[in-house]
Amino acid sequence: MVVTDQVIVRAGVLGLTQGTEIEVVSQTKSQEQMVKLVLVCQPDVVLLDLRLAGSDGLCALERVHRENPDIAILIFSESEEFKVMARARSLGAMGCIPMGGPREELLKSIRRVAGGKNAWTPQQIRKVVSRSAATAVNMGDKKSLSAREYEVLKKIVDGLSNEMISEELEITIETVKQHVKHVLKKLHVVSRTQAALFALHSNLFALPKWSGMWPRGSESQCVWNTAFTTADLETLAMCVS
């Protein structure tokens, strides 16, 4: 499915996929139509233009991914802006295709995500990681963390869930949640992944166990049981590589 209000782009995707096994099952130019057509057509992949007229492409991405988590979403973008890529990736986008990119890049990305693989390039991931870590380090205030909050941050970096932290520190889950909330607020970040990026980039702790087990450049999954998603681990692995 192709979702963009630019007629030339829709026509371009149709032309570029002709003669391949890839079939464009539906096209639309609005967020509301997209949501309805996804239910009807059940596409394997959605190509979504984040600059939809009259709507927020990121909100559309979040809605479709939340309601249809098995459908792969690729985003179109005229520029690889750090904030846009970081937000889109966190909302479930499996790759970003530059407007006007080469045909083979488009086809390769569609095939990868249709097969359940990530289509983010190493360059895009590194850009997101370096800017996210730098922003967190510049804004974060690690000196304001209490001793217990430091402990919780270390557990977050190690990939422990709230339940696991509760067991290891022998405190209630509600207490853990409060500590996590305070850690995020004091570091001026909005997620556990960003907090881990801050800690890794600042060299606050020794490398976590999962860092030596994540198969960089491989399609396989991490064998270490963490609370991080695969996308989170890919991002964090870039920081420790």
User: For residue 221, what pLDDT is reported?
Assistant: 40
Q: How far is CA 90 from CA 145, 193, 209, 230, in A?
A: 26, 10, 23, 11
Residue 83 and residue 224: Cα distance in Å, rounded?
Answer: 29
Q: What is the pLDDT along the chain (241 residues), one digit of tens a residue?
A: 999 888 888 888 999 999 999 999 999 888 888 888 998 999 999 999 887 755 677 888 888 888 888 899 999 877 666 677 777 877 888 888 887 788 999 999 999 999 988 888 877 776 766 665 555 545 455 667 888 999 999 999 888 889 999 999 999 999 999 999 999 888 877 788 878 877 877 777 776 666 554 444 443 343 345 666 666 666 666 655 5
Asked if 112 contacts 95 with a C-beta cutoff of 8 angstroms, the reply is yes
Does the predicted TM-score (pTM) go above 0.75? no
Domains contained in the chain, CATH given? 2-120 (3.40.50.2300), 126-240 (1.10.10.10)
Residue 148: what residue type? R
pLDDT recorded at residue 230: 65
